[in-house]
Structure 1
Amino acid sequence: MGSYDALLVLSFGGPEGPDDVMPFLENVVRGRGVPRARLEAVAEHYLAFGGVSPINGQNRALVEALRGVVDVPVYWGNRNWHPFGEDVVRRMKDDGVRRAAVFATSAFAGYSSCRQYYEDIARISVEGGPQLVKLRHFGDHPGFVAAMVDHVGQALEKLPDARLVFTAHSVPVSAPGTGLYEAQLRRSAELVGEAVGRTDWDLVWQSRSGPPQVPWLEPDILDHLRAIDAPAVLAPIGFVSDHMEVVYDLDTEAVQLAAELGRPLVRAATVGTHPRFVHMIRELMNEPSQPQCAVDCCQAYARA
C-alpha cells in the first residue's frame, strides 16, 4: 500500500482499571504542575466507570477493522498509557518495519490534537527504526463526513425537531492554532449539516479545564443547553470515538442536565469503526504525499 510497510494507530491512551487511573493522569499532566486535587477530581470521572476508559477497547476495535482493509501490518500505541508508543516502535523495528504511516486519532489542527502527535513521533522514534510519517488532518475528508452524516441522521430520526448541536473539546482562546482548530471544526460541521439538511446548527465546546481566569472557547455545552429552549441532538464531531470525555461530559453531565430541564436529548455516535471512516484511513495512506505542518505551527502553550 503506497510506500508504507506498516500502519501505526497513535492515540491518547487510558486506564484499564482503578489502579491505573492516577498513574495515567500523572502521565497526562507530567511537567505541568497540575494540583493533586485537580487530578483526584478527574479521577472520579474514571472511577465512576470502574476505572476503565472506553478508548482502549475502541482503539482495539479500530485496529481489527483496519486489518481487514489495509494490506500492511497494523500496530497501536499510546501517548499516556500501555501500550506506550515507544515500546511499540521498538517492536516495529524488531519486525523489520522501514516506513510506517501514523494515524493520529484526532482529526483537527491544534497543539494537543496535532502538534503534540508530531512531538510524540519525534520522541518515540528510535535509531535504525522505521520512518514515521503522520497522516494529514481529515475533518473534511468525505469518509469522515459520511460517517458523521450517518450517525447524525440516525440521531435526528429519533428526535426530528431537535436543534443540531456539534461539540468539540474546548481549548484556550490564546493557544497557538486555536483559530485554525475552530475553522476546521466549523467546516466539518457545515459539511455534515448540509448533508443532513440542517443549516441552523450550533458548534459548542466541552471538557474545558485549567484556571477559570483563562478564557477558553465558548459556549460550554451545559451553558448552551440551558440557553436554548429546544430538544437537542448532540454530535461530538471533535472526537473519533466514544471515549471518556464523550461518555462523561455528554452521556452523563449533559443527559442529567437535559433531564433536569425537561428537554429531550439524543447523542449521535462518533465515527468509531464506521466502514467509511475505516476506509478513509486506507485512502489517506494511498495519497501520494502528506502535507506536514510547519515546525512552529501550534506550539505548546502554558497550561495549568
Structure 2
Amino acid sequence: MPDARDATPYDALLLLSFGGPEGPDDVVPFLENVTRGRGIPKERLKEVGQHYFRFGGVSPINGQNRALLDALRKDFAEHGLDLPVYWGNRNWAPYLTDTLREMTTDGRRHVLVLATSAYASYSGCRQYRENLADALAALEAEGLEPPKVDKLRHYFNHPGFLEPMIDGLVESLADLPEEVRDGAHIAFTTHSIPTAAADTSGPVEDHGDGGAYVAEHLDTARLIADAVRERTGADHPWQLVYQSRSGAPHIPWLEPDICDHLEELHGAGVPAVVMAPIGFVSDHMEVLYDLDTEATAKAEELGLPVRRSATVGADPRFAAAVRDLVLERAATERGADVTPCALGALGPSHNLCPVGCCPARTPRPAAAGADSPYA
C-alpha cells in the first residue's frame, strides 16, 4: 500500500447493518419495518416475533455491531488511520437515513460503506445499495447535499474474515468427545434464499445455478476445510447447507436445511457434526435461534453430538481486514496500482457492482454501483 495511513479521498466509514430490536416493545415495530409492503398482519408478526421474545425481545446484532465499532475504531487509532466510523441500520435505530444526515452535517463528503454481509446476493448487497439510495434521496428532499458513497467489495475470501472462523472450527472439533472427533462432519451453514435470487446473484456473466451466492460460499467452505485439515491432520467431510428459510412454501429455496441434514447424517451413521455458520458475520438471531436452539435440539433428539463454531464478530483480525479493504479501495480511487488481498479460486470481488448485478424483482434505484443515480 502506498501509504498505510492514507484513506483519501474518503473522509468516513459507515458500518451498515440489518438492525434488531432491543426490548419486547421493539419486536413488532421492528418486524413491521422488515416486512413493510408485504401486507403481513400484526398478529402474524407477533407469532414470528416469538424467536425474539424467547430472548427477552433483544436481538444480539446491535450489541455485536457496537463491539465491531469499538474494534474498528481501536484498530484504526492504533495504526494511525484517521477515519471516523459511523453506524446505521436498515430496520432499526440508529437508522441509516439519520446516520447519513449526521454525517452530512458533520461535513463528510465521500463515505465508504462496510455492509455486514460478506457475499453477493440481493438481500446481502443490492438491497443495502437501495437503502443507501433511499436515504440519499431523503436528504436531498430535505435540502441537504448528501455525500458520495462507495461500498467496500465482498470480503468472503479475505484472510482476516477466514482466519477467525478457521480457529473457531478447530476449537469446536477439539471440544467434541475424542472417540467421535476424527469422524465428525462439518456442516457449513448460511442463510437460505429463493433459488431464483441465488441464480441471479453476482454479475450477469456469473449467473447460473446458484449464482455467485453459492459459488462464494463454496469457495469459503473449501478454504476453511483445507486449513482445518492442515491444522489438525484430519480430513473431515463437509457440505454447504442452509438455514433460516422463510416465505411461501411453494417457492423453491436453497436446500438442504440444516435440521434435515442432521437427520440424514445421523441416518448414515455419522458420529458427530460441527455446524459452522460461515454466512454470518456475527452471532445474531438466525445463529442464536436456528442453530443454537432449533438445530441443537434436533441433534439432541437424534442423540448426535454437535457443536457450533464461532462467527467472526469483532475479532481484531476482522477489524484489521476492514482497514486493509479501506486502504486498498482508497489507493485504487487515487489511481495507485493495488494488488487486492484475496484467497481461493474466485479472487477479489469487484469494487463497483455492475449493471444487472443481483437484480431486484421490481427495479429500484441503488447507490454505490455502476447504475447509481448518485455519481
- Same-fold call, TM > 0.5? yes
User: Counterparts in 2 of 1:224-239, with a 5 A limit?
Assistant: 224-229=261-266, 230=270, 231-239=272-280
Q: Deviations over 1:50-83 (max 9, x none)?
A: 0000000000000001001123111000000000
User: Equivalent residue for 1:107?
Assistant: 118
- Whole-Å separation in 2 of the counterparts to 1:185 and 1:34: 31
State the identity %: 56
1:216 pairs with one of 248, 253, 270: 253
Structure 2 counterpart of 1:172: 194
1:132 and 2:179 correspond: no
Report the Cα offset of residue 296 of structure 1: 2.1
Shift of 1:191: 0.5
Shift in CA distance, 163/144, structure 1 to aligned 2, threshold 3 Å: same
Number of residues paired by the alignment? Answer: 302
Q: Which secondary structure state, in structure 1, belongs to the residue aligned with residue 112 of structure 2?
A: strand
Q: What runs of 5+ residues in structure 2 fail to find an aligned partner?
A: 1-5, 202-209, 230-234, 333-349, 363-375
**Is 2:75–2:316's contact at 8 Å kept on the other side of the alignment?**
no
Partner of 1:267: 308
What is the CA deviation profile of residues 225-251 of structure 1, one whole-angstrom value per residue up to 9, with x for unaligned ones? 011022110000000000000000000
Cα distance in 1 for residues equivalent to 2:259 and 2:304: 13
Q: How does the TM-score come out when normalised to structure 2?
A: 0.78
Q: TM-score of the superposition, structure 1-length normalised?
A: 0.96
CA 1:41–1:301 in 2, change beyond 3 Å: closer, same or farther?
A: farther
> Are 1:56 and 2:62 counterparts?
yes
Matched with 2:336 is none
Provide the residue aligned with 1:300 in structure 2. 360
Runs of at least 5 residues in structure 1 that lack an aligned partner in the other structure = none
Equivalent residue, structure 1, for 2:281: 240
Q: Specify the alignment match of 1:277 in structure 2.
A: 318
AA partner of residue 320 (structure 2): H
Looking at structure 2, the residues matched to 8 and 93 of structure 1 have their Cα atoms a distance apart, in angstroms, of 12
Matched residue type, 1:23: P
Q: What letter is aligned with 1:189?
A: A
In the alignment, which of 11, 22, 31 is matched to residue 16 of structure 1?
22
The 2-side partners of 1:29 and 1:268 are apart by: 30
Q: Provide the residue aligned with 1:94 in structure 2.
A: 105
Q: Which is worse superposed, 271-280 or 31-40?
A: 31-40
Structure whose CA Rg is larger: 2
2:347 corresponds to: none
State how far apart, in whole Å, the 2-side matches of 1:269 and 1:39 are: 29
8 Å contact kept, 1:21–1:51: yes
| RMSD, matched Cα | 1.4
Contact 2:34 2:91 in 1 (8 A): yes
